[in-house]
Structure 1
Amino acid sequence: MRKRALQLFVNCAVVSVILPSMPARSAIPFSSGRAVHSAQFAQNPQTQAALAWFKSHLAWINDEQARLTEIPAPPFAEGQRAQAVKVLLAAFGLEVHLDKAGNVIGELRGTNEREVVLIAAHLDTVFPAGTDVRVRREKDRMYAPGISDNGTGLVSLVAIARALHEARIKPQRTILFVADVGEEGEGNLRGMRALVETYRDRLKAVVVLDGSGTDHVTTKALASRRMEAVITGPGGHSWSDFGIPNPINALVRGSVRFLNTRVPATPRTTFNLGQVEGGTSVNSIPHEARLKVDVRSESEDELLRLENALRECMAAGVRDEMESARDRSKGKLEWKVEILGSRPGGELAGDSPLLAALRAADDYVSNASRIERASTDANIPLSLGIDAIAIGAGGNGGGAHSLQEWYEPAGRELGLQRALLTTLGVSGIANEKGK
């Protein structure tokens, strides 16, 4: 593994600013081209102080994770949690503001303010307003909806900001600590879209903290589309209006057709019928029925094929229902399929300095991680050719997106160190004490 990190660092100059052999008040230019061995990585005294801070403050980190998780952040209503994160980041010396999208942005200015490294964790959860998000602790686990996704990433963002503050580290490139909105579901990555639009000309790397674990790194963005099929009709009474066209019947007919759509194993392609809504009572013929569908693929062509298949199946379902209706005098069925969200694909280059920094950080903390494809905030920068990764923030979690979600903090120190070292690997350190 150490040979791998050394090889990857031949073209990664930024990380070399952390070498102890450098003068106390100097920084290595980004173009130096020097390679570093992972055994030497992060021996800078200030970096060592930041790494050590995590171990001595694990209880604080765990408590803050529970506190932030208990602040509701349902889709499109992340404001209360955003304010809590804003207060924390401001307390750690960052210049903090909320942008128009609702993202919390804390700036740690570097000596090179023209270039920016962004480290982000999403604020929102998948759970609707009113969900009980109180944290229950049992032995070594914490239980609550959203405790791991993304309570883990969010508190890690805050902890890394505090560790750098306590160690008095000033980066070369400016680091933006961002708690962003709209990552989940129909949020459609709106927070990250706004960030990239604002900082695109200055943005050199994005590190996304999402969930727990340290065994993976997402460098491949999984493309996806979220769609909603809506069928409307006249509606009526189940007895007196029996035989008129029924939107739910048409939706079922179309859904069954769509379920028979073939998808390839390669490129891997999936679809999910996730939500069905319709009707007002058991003895009413509904005037509307809705179906939400999630499709994902390694191929944009497959996404388009499934989108077209859904439209064709819904049209066929409506046609079949109209043909079987006994009474068409009260009106016909109408249908439409709308795109609720579209996430672009992309892929990080194998020789990326960001990937090199991650691999060297893995090597330093004796961690092995595999490359994965997933749908995360990293989709947006990757789709535009900006270096980006998504990683877990340590510890172990399970039951994501369920009411039984849990998190075990054991091992989180490694995840925090890995994320901090990766970030500094692409930001560099000005290495000036007292700043």
Structure 2
Amino acid sequence: MGRFRVGGHALPSWPTCRLAGYLAALMMVQAMAMQTYGALAPFIRTDLGVSASTMGLVAAAPYVGTAAAAFVSGGWVDRHHARTTVLLTGLGIAASLLIAAGFSTVTTVILGLALAGVSRSAIPPLSDRLGYEGAPLADRGFVFGVKQTGTPIGSALAAMTLPPLASAGLGWQGALATTAAVVAGATVALRHGPDSAAPARRTVHDGAAGVARGGPDDDQWAGDTGTEDVRAAVATKLPLVRQLATLIAISAALGVFMSSAMTFLTLYLVDDRGLAPVEAARWFALFGLGGGVGRIACGWLSDRAFRGHRGLALATSAAGGGMIAIMLGVAADPLIATTGALTMLIFGFFAQGWVGVIRLWGTELAGSGRSGRAGGLLLGSMMLGSLTGPPVFGWLVDTAGGYSTSWTVMGTLALAASAAVLVAQHRQRRRPPSDHDTSR
């Protein structure tokens, strides 16, 4: 049966949409567990009577755990069946949340959330591997974009459900235990994933063409394709880490940028633009909505408009986010007052749209058998950037006495990352294909 077409483009098939939905569900479940702190922070602080600095350690714990484990969890993903990884990570997250809830001390809360981060670190690389190996070449960007929307959806679910549970008499411990039960149940339900669940054997063409299981299918794009970029990587015979070094650095830089925006945007709207907290929260919700749309749109555009050239979609997203960040630092009050809501929507679109595309580009560079490892490296670098960005942004706010310098610095960083992407892609396209690449 032929695929439906709109405007000359074939829509993703039902199996492709099913794969994307499954991966989004995996990401949603782990995001719910990672965002328990943000939703329950007021209850934990009141009950345990700890300082703001201690709460900062609690907030950082799951991300430190993820960053510490991500650089090795990708290798596990490449070597083991997906069902094994899903069960071990999901049940590990649930057990870690029970540790955090069971002893009611700040030490065990930090320990439990850190262990949850360690367990969670295998899920994003696993989703990268399954999306890379299971999706058709011409629909990979769409699949990666959809799966990355699971993260903001899971965060929103945690924010909407956990505080009411804690307020209803369960307390933060009961809310954490409920989350653990939900994660465990969802893990059992999701253990049967797509057919491409067994580790793939790497072929000589995989890293070059960025196509799972035996080389590229150029017929999926008529004419020039973005696989030219990744074919050139094997021609240089560079080690995997060196091939991905530029993307790892870009991932860290954009992690600094995105985490700073997500942490301080609401405070900026209240402190610098004079919005009421409730109104600022609404604008922040638009930022999140734009981010969800941007992740899907940038992935789809990398498939269709940019014909597989992932770097062009990545550079566009980073540049758009950087320019809007700089604008926030210099915009006059009337501009924010009249177009602020729309600005937040567009800002979220560009500032978060790159997340799926950069992960896809990395897995295509690595190829089958190494896609999980590449996903782990990119996840770890982004987590390190996410841990670095907010403290630096806050220090700049305190030092400069306002937000203008902070937004300008972060916007410039995003623009520099965009330029680095374009340079890297240009260099790859100029390299001749390998004599051993007979897959054309």
- TM-score norm. by structure 2 comes to 0.23
Higher strand share: 1
Larger radius of gyration: 1
Structure 1 or 2: more helix by fraction:
2
* TM-score, scaled relative to structure 1: 0.23
